[in-house]
Structure 1
């Protein structure tokens, strides 16, 4: 066999292809968005398998957070991800990027991937017109997870589809319906700021919502009356999902309380101000720019000085 006939040239392309072969993709990225033309997730078995992967990944994420407080920080980091991912102003700023910031950014990327997978599953269930028990269970999980991460663009469409489509064909229990109807009412009142619609949703005309705890009713009344004392008290008593939605309204309540105190008081106890605003004095100074003077004893705050009489 001559040198021209030797099959040595066949090894080169084979080795090149093996080097170019991509690594196994993330299971959550195996599908595209159904709204972008993906059809493989229309298969019911594929949906159920994908759902199990999402649940497993989400539970692993929660378990790896290291406790409820740290998990809450991971959820909060999702909203700070864009700032943490932005390039620093210069070499010095680059060096100041802490390990904690990097960890938060990585956690945010993982959570965003899980939320993206939830969206794909949600769109696939809608595209396949699925309204059975699986669809109900999957949507309940998606709503709960999305609320904890405050991803309203994920939980609101899921909440509406559960109440308006799935429930009509596969009814939830009374307690389940009241839970999710209550969450929608809270979203309308707190995040959207539409109290009239919130009261209409609560009425017999729409949901005929019954609140066994009375907390949603009390919250709506507190918002109508600008009653921040009741608002903060309720925020400590409601369950986690309700509290997470109420957080959308916290800053409005806080600013209103600060304005009222600024017009009504010359001095006030630090503890009273913290109670009325739901935030520590240090946070009020740092995050809200409160410029009132804290006395040396650390207990009294001078809000404004009376004008001297001429």
Structure 2
């Protein structure tokens, strides 16, 4: 009868103890990971800024798909605002006019205030404007100047004008007129329309009246309302300015708004120099604003009983 060698028994016991001490892999519950909710990525946030390295938006098909998403979101925003005066109030409430201008030369540019996107949110316009900027930079980077680029830039210009976001509509407007139009010509009514925006921008926002007249001549722009705005600004004619402002469409009126405060201040100064008292209605017509809004704007005149406004007190003898 054979007997195992003591050292061989010791080795076998050591191996058995090591095997039993080794941790065994345990399989977790199969549904553990399935309980995690998938991350919802906003379609407008899929791409970054081409000026900061994003290259996917240089592809024509990607640009067209992204443009469709932007238009859908924009139309949803407009529909949720109720349209008409309510929509105009929604645009005004965005308060985007104070944003610093974009810089050129490929440098970092100030961006719009970012918010977590949600199509159900009523204040989605900052994200839509950011998406428009991405698309615009993508088209610019790809040097695209075909019918799609023309249509996309026209949409971006319209939306940016309504929000008063000149950081977006000015470069888009210049690219449309200077780069796209020579390659893919606008129709005559379209050229008149967008050249008119350029002229009004020069006159009302930049207050460069000579440049505005030069642009009017260069584009052979013959819109009577645009001409009336220019003449009103040249002659400080606030009566004509307010009258034209009420007669133009929403896009032209939004650009004219840049000059409204300047024209209002001039009108009220003239009123202060020429009158000691005036009817409230007359003061409101002169300033093209309600009395509470004039007071908020800094008018220090006194509203008296009966509806008259005390502008200046007689000097004591």
Q: TM-score, normalised by structure 1?
A: 0.84
CA distance in 2, matches of 1:262, 1:226: 16
2:303 corresponds to which of 294, 300, 303 = 294
Shift of 1:210: 2.1
Structure 1 segments (4+ residues) deviating >6 Å: none
Shift of 1:292: 1.2
CA distance in 1, matches of 2:151, 2:29: 52
Shift of 1:13: 12
Counterparts of residues 100-119 of structure 1 (less than 5 Å): 107-108=122-123, 110-119=124-133
Aligned length: 277
2:221 aligns with 209
Shift of 1:15: 4.6
2:140 aligns with 126
Matched, 1:246 2:260: no
1:178 corresponds to which of 165, 177, 192 = 192
CA distance in 2, matches of 1:80, 1:35: 21
Q: Deviations over 1:236-287 (max 9, x none)?
A: 00011000000011111111111111111111111111111110111111x2
Counterparts of residues 133-212 of structure 1 (less than 5 Å): 133-203=147-217, 206-211=218-223
Q: Please, which runs of 5 or more residues in structure 1 have no aligned partner? A: 83-105
CA distance in 1, matches of 2:147, 2:206: 30
1:62 aligns with 78
CA distance in 1, matches of 2:260, 2:189: 27
Q: Please, which runs of 5 or more residues in structure 2 have no aligned partner? A: 1-18, 99-120
Name the SS of the counterpart of 1:301 in structure 2: strand
1:53 aligns with 69
Shift of 1:208: 2.2
1:307 aligns with 315
CA distance in 1, matches of 2:169, 2:269: 33
Shift of 1:227: 0.4
Shift of 1:202: 0.9
Matched, 1:270 2:280: yes
Name the SS of the counterpart of 1:150 in structure 2: coil
1:218 aligns with 228
Q: Check the 8 A contact 2:196/2:226 in 1, yes or no.
A: yes
Q: Check the 8 A contact 2:97/2:166 in 1, yes or no.
A: no
CA distance in 1, matches of 2:212, 2:86: 33
CA distance in 1, matches of 2:96, 2:58: 34
CA distance in 2, matches of 1:2, 1:51: 63
Q: Check the 8 A contact 2:97/2:164 in 1, yes or no.
A: no
CA distance in 2, matches of 1:56, 1:218: 36
Name the SS of the counterpart of 1:107 in structure 2: coil
CA distance in 2, matches of 1:121, 1:38: 11
Distance 1:3 1:133, change over 3 A: farther
1:76 corresponds to which of 79, 92, 95 = 92
2:238 corresponds to which of 228, 236, 239 = 228
